[in-house]
């Protein structure tokens, strides 16, 4: 039964890698959607957001499969709970990517000043880098837990970079020319960048859980 439980655990971790692959691809689609929106390529933007939404839905399905694998096997309760927690944290990355995509559909980023639009692109690229760093961290979890712990530090560094960019973006709000963007539209822009920043908050939460699991695997 111990062997069976370990098999279940291993399969759950493998499913998490697929889960995170979909999640990072969703973040990549968000970056593409932002680029298309800024360049006024609405059809391409909508196509990217549609793909993002499908990936998030598929990620939800995999998360349910992970939960089945963990609850069906003879896995110690603390390990099962930790892996379930990790799976949910990963899912929040996809959820906030989808939320950012929904807001992007209506937020007028194409009419923002160039300085703010450039910062918007910069922060989304760093968010993508952060999500990919989380994926690399989790890929090491089963076989190389010490390496997973080391890679978790790089995720934190990227999250801090996103925080700094987020503050730079907010500092630009008072400089907006409201003859081009009205206050209601700026509210949506603010919500967009809040959602983008939340993606990396959940990246950080995810690697906190990775550290916990990695220490137990040593």
Q: Look up residue 197 and give its DSSP letter.
A: H
- What pTM was estimated for this model as a whole? 0.90
User: To the nearest 10°, the Cα dihedral for 124, 126, 130, 133?
Assistant: 130
Dist. CA 13–CA 215, nearest whole Å? 16
CATH classification at residue 199: 1.20.58.220
Helix (H, G, I), strand (E, B) or coil at 200: helix
> What is the domain extent for residue 12?
2-217
When divided into structural domains, the chain yields a total of 1
Contact 203, 91 (CB under 8 A): no
Digit-by-digit pLDDT tens for the chain (218 residues) are: 343 345 556 777 778 888 889 999 999 999 999 999 999 999 999 999 999 999 999 999 999 998 888 887 667 787 788 888 999 999 999 999 999 999 999 999 999 999 999 999 999 999 999 999 999 998 888 788 899 999 999 999 999 999 999 999 999 998 888 888 888 999 999 999 999 999 999 999 999 999 988 888 77
């Amino acid at each position: 039964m111990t062997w069976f439980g370990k098999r279940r655990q291993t399969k759950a971790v493998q499913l998490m890698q697929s889960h995170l692959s979909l999640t990072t691809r969703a973040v990549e689609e968000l970056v593409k959607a932002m680029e298309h929106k800024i360049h006024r390529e609405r059809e391409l933007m909508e196509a990217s957001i549609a793909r993002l939404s499908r990936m998030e839905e598929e990620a939800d399905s995999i998360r349910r499969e992970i939960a089945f694998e963990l609850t069906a096997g003879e896995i110690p309760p603390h390990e099962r709970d930790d892996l379930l927690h990790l799976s949910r944290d990963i899912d929040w990355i996809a959820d906030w990517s989808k939320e950012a995509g929904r807001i992007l559909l209506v937020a007028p980023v194409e009419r923002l000043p160039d300085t703010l639009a450039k910062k918007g692109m910069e922060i989304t690229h760093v968010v993508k880098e952060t999500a990919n760093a989380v994926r690399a961290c989790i890929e090491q979890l089963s076989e190389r837990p010490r390496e997973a712990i080391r890679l978790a530090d790089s995720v934190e560094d990227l999250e801090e970079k996103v925080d700094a960019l987020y503050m730079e973006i907010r500092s630009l709000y008072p400089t907006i020319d409201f003859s081009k963007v009205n206050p209601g539209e700026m509210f949506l822009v603010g919500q967009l960048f809040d959602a983008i920043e939340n993606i990396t908050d959940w990246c950080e939460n995810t690697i906190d859980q990775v550290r916990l699991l990695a220490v137990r695997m040593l």
